[in-house]
Amino acid sequence: MSELVYTAWDIRAFAQDLGDEGPPFAWDEERRAQLRAQLGAIYFHLYGIERADVEYIMSTFPIVERNDLAAHGTYRTRDLILSYYDAYMSATPSALQTWLGPEEKRGARRHRPIIEEA
């Protein structure tokens, strides 16, 4: 999930070590929230955590909840994670690959490449 990490040119060497030869990804706050929620849902599922326990665990982050309420009027982080958790539970096993597949196929935007001088 280099899209969440590789967002600036100064970590290009790190991205290349991970096999990413493209320019860094554009910072898109909405997309990042969706990706983080997808990862959270997948982790909960892979660890075998039941939905009711996910709800409880999410209730233990009062600062996140307070910030979400102020910014979005709802506990958005919890709601997104639970939404993806439910979708993953009812989807085929290929859903995980769809969520975490190549970034460009999922609509990721990258910065323009740097034109290297000769």
Q: What is the pLDDT of residues 37-63, one digit of tens each?
A: 989 998 999 899 999 999 999 999 999
CA–CA dist 14, 20 (Å, integer): 9
The pTM is what? Answer: 0.77
Query: 45, 37 in Cβ contact below 8 A?
Result: no
Query: Up-side HSE of residue 34: CA atoms within 13 Å toward CB?
Result: 11
Number of CB atoms found within 10 A of residue 87's CB:
13
pLDDT one-digit tens code per residue, 15-30? 999 888 888 988 888 8
Helix axes 29-46, 76-90, angle to 10 degrees: 50
Instruction: Give the CA dihedral 31, 26, 9, 117, nearest 10 degrees.
Output: 160
Asked whether the CA dihedral 57, 61, 62, 64 is positive or negative, the reply is negative
For the chain, give every domain's residue range: 28-102
Q: What is d(CA 59, CA 94) in angstroms, rounded to the nearest whole number?
A: 30
State the pLDDT confidence band at 118, using cuts at 50, 70 and 90: very low
Chain centroid to CA 69: how far?
Answer: 20
Q: For residues 42 and 94, give the distance between their C-alpha atoms in angstroms, rounded to a whole number.
A: 13
